[in-house]
Amino acid sequence: MKHIRNFCVIAHIDHGKSTLSDRLLDFTQSVGEREKMDQQLDDMDLERERGITIKSHAIQMHYTHTDGTEYVFNMIDTPGHVDFSYEVSRSIAACEGALLLVDATQGIQAQTISNLFLALEHDLEIIPVLNKVDMQTARIDEMADQMIELTGCAREDIIEASGKTGIGVQEIMTAVVERVPAPSGDPDAPLQALIFDSVFNPFRGVIAYVRVMNGTLKKLQEVKFIATGAKYTANEVGAMEITPKPQGQIGCGSVGYIITGVKNSSEIKVGDTVTLAENPAKMLSGFEEVKPMVFAGIFPLDNDDFEMLRDSLEKLQLNDASLVFEAETSAALGYGFRCGFLGMLHLEIVQERLFREFNMDVITTVPNVTYRVTDTKGVVTEIRNPAELPEQNNRQMVEEPIIYAQIITTTEYIGAIMNLCINKRGTLTKQTYLSPQRVELHFVLPLAEIVFDFYDRLKSISRGYASFDYQPKDYQETDLVRMDIKLNGENVDALSALVHRSKARYVGAGMCKKLRELLPRQQFMIAIQAAIGGKIIARETLSAMRKDVTAKCYGGDISRKRKLLEKQKAGKRKMRQFGSVEVPQKAFLECLKLD
């Protein structure tokens, strides 16, 4: 055990985690020349296309230290985007140390601070690394001072490195050996192994990734999953190298995988504890539960695919433990699921993965957050769907979730960012200058105001320089109304939204205008209306496609043309009574992106 080191790589998005991980794999010769590629640990097409890490990736490396001692390194590369912070929390729970990466050209960003505090809560040993020092725009001394102020480390503790050229890789390896403590645990105690991730293999069932805290996990032992109570035989256990490497056992303090042949995804939960059926131990504590921030309905294009969508979501949940869902029905869309996400990027990624990995075409409804409603009897209920909001005379109070937002930016964009946050009903609580050119702003904001386009607009007005992070705070009373969108007088419940009364007219007018652009024209006129209860607050009209019925009239009295136009008008009126309006998939999310 004293020759094992478990550590993760944490940083803000685009600070070079995956590239530096590639260099560490090269240095320890963990990847053969034929398998070598950029972003080695990012095995999803989406990750390579977007250049971001969506899922944590664990890998085992063998390193020979300068004194000739062989060490086993279990490294976890984590995502940097705020929407995937749950992946980071799970990785941190399985480690004793962390490489804290900071880009020498960009400096400390909001997510860097958030991940650092997460690691310190778990008492991880922090190794500060200044990445991209080979770039001409690198400000090494200035960024080193920022790191010293943030972490309280000494200047000589900071390792200067480059994921591109391999500078500092040897120093990182030495620091991991010398600074990261060896795992603690009792090899002779009853087995306790934490499940920190899982994937679904169509041939072998669920593969669970575990960190053994106490005891030893051996092949063919009967194991028990404490949370679900399920018992299975460990058909295969092993280490997670570039390709899974079967072994006879996983020792105390090590990270590995276990295959039990479980086909039902609900029987293995991330955060559960694996123990032996004949000599069970207690469940491990301290694992963070997922808290979805954004809720949206996901419906199949064809109602016959409902069961297929359920299976797809269950398998996807194994790869993405932060996804939660429950069944719901919609008058317009039929049977589907109300899903919880950590943010809008997470929603977008899930939708894309359903299409790519399971060939599921889905319709996503208007995303919203969880509100608390107190009725006239004083009973408090949580609502996640606009249809669940009681009528005005049946409710006493509505509360919305609020967050602490932390924005780090350069001084020239302070005014524009403050305007954006104040327009989003935010309140400035603190302003701190990290350096003469960098400032940290703290706002209290309603969560509902940031879930749609806040992050995109923040990046636009700051030319990409501002970084954003947030933590849930509490609930506060709000004046909430349900806004319905009507097409020819019929409610489209999938487009209903819960909005603040002060913004209802603006949002309603914007959605009507967007829908007018997005809806395909029909043979009849379509009235697009936004309504609160029985009151219409905005309207747009989509004119009908018309055939030139007067083309054959090339002479004679005007009454001949009028007769034909009146006949056409009557036909359009009749068509409008029976015609139905199909809302295309892209309209559901596009109409929310209001300027």
Q: Is the model's pLDDT at 416 over the cut of 80?
A: yes
Position with higher pLDDT, 144 vs 42? 144
Q: What is the DSSP letter of 122?
A: T
Task: Collapse the DSSP code of 302 into the 3-class scheme (helix H, G, I; strand E, B; otherwise coil) and give the result.
Answer: coil
Q: What average pLDDT does this structure show over 375-397?
A: 81
For residues 333 and 337, what is the distance between their CA atoms, to the nearest angstrom? Answer: 11
- Evaluate whether 356 touches 374 at the Cβ level (below 8 Å): no
Which string of DSSP letters, residue by residue, matches 503-534?
Answer: GHHHHHHHHHHHHHHHSPP-SS-EEEEEEETT
Q: Is the model's pLDDT at 232 over the cut of 50?
A: yes
Secondary structure in 3-state letters for 239-263? EECCCEEEECEECCCCEEEEECCCC
Task: Collapse the DSSP code of 187 into the 3-class scheme (helix H, G, I; strand E, B; otherwise coil) and give the result.
Answer: coil
Going by pLDDT thresholds of 50, 70 and 90, the confidence category of residue 594 is very low
Task: Collapse the DSSP code of 263 into the 3-class scheme (helix H, G, I; strand E, B; otherwise coil) and give the result.
Answer: coil
**pLDDT tens digits, residue range 459-469?**
778 766 677 77
- pLDDT at residue number 595: 43
Q: Is the model's pLDDT at 582 over the cut of 70?
A: no
Range with lowest mean pLDDT among 48-57, 114-123, 358-367: 48-57
Q: What average pLDDT does this structure show over 260-275?
A: 77
Q: Which residue has the tokens 């985690």?
A: 17
Q: Which residue has the tokens 């087995």?
A: 191
Q: Is the full-model pTM beyond 0.85?
A: no
Range among 20-34, 138-152, 288-302, 314-328 with highest mean pLDDT value: 138-152
- pLDDT at residue number 252: 85
**pLDDT tens digits, residue range 282-339?**
877 655 556 676 778 888 877 788 889 988 888 887 767 678 888 887 766 778 888 8
Q: What is the DSSP letter of 541?
A: E
Going by pLDDT thresholds of 50, 70 and 90, the confidence category of residue 584 is low
Q: What average pLDDT does this structure show over 471-482?
A: 84
- pLDDT at residue number 83: 58
Q: Which tokens is 531 given?
A: 């309504």
Position with higher pLDDT, 546 vs 314? 314
Q: Which residue has the tokens 């990409």?
A: 464
Query: Can you list the alpha helix ranges (DSSP code H) found in 320-441?
Result: 344-358, 414-423
- Evaluate whether 363 touches 335 at the Cβ level (below 8 Å): no
Q: What average pLDDT does this structure show over 363-372?
A: 79
The total of other beta-carbon atoms located within 10 Å of residue 495's CB is: 23
Question: What integer best gives the mean pLDDT of the chain?
Answer: 79
Q: Which tokens is 546 given?
A: 């018309």
Exposure of 282 by Cβ count < 10 A (0-12 exposed, 13-18 middle, 19+ buried)?
exposed
Among candidate residues 471, 458, 469, the one with its CA nearest the CA of residue 414: 458
Position with higher pLDDT, 285 vs 586? 285
| Strand arrangement of the beta sheet that strand 97-103 belongs to | 57-64, 70-77, 4-10, 97-103, 125-131, 159-160
- pLDDT at residue number 580: 60
Q: What average pLDDT does this structure show over 424-432?
A: 88
Going by pLDDT thresholds of 50, 70 and 90, the confidence category of residue 81 is low
Q: Is the model's pLDDT at 193 over the cut of 70?
A: yes
The total of other beta-carbon atoms located within 10 Å of residue 34's CB is: 6
**pLDDT tens digits, residue range 65-77?**
888 888 888 887 7
Residue 394 half-sphere exposure toward CB, CA atoms < 13 A = 6
Name the percent of the chain lying above pLDDT 70.
Answer: 85
* Cα 560 versus chain centre, distance: 63
Q: What average pLDDT does this structure show over 200-225?
A: 84
Q: Which tokens is 17 given?
A: 């985690």
Going by pLDDT thresholds of 50, 70 and 90, the confidence category of residue 32 is low
Name the percent of the chain lying above pLDDT 90.
Answer: 0
Q: What average pLDDT does this structure show over 474-488?
A: 84
Q: What average pLDDT does this structure show over 527-532?
A: 88
Q: What average pLDDT does this structure show over 423-432?
A: 88
Q: Is the model's pLDDT at 541 over the cut of 60?
A: yes
The residue type at 235: N
- Evaluate whether 544 touches 572 at the Cβ level (below 8 Å): yes
Query: Can you list the alpha helix ranges (DSSP code H) found in 239-343?
Result: 306-319
Q: Which residue has the tokens 């603190």?
A: 430
**pLDDT tens digits, residue range 354-364?**
888 888 888 88
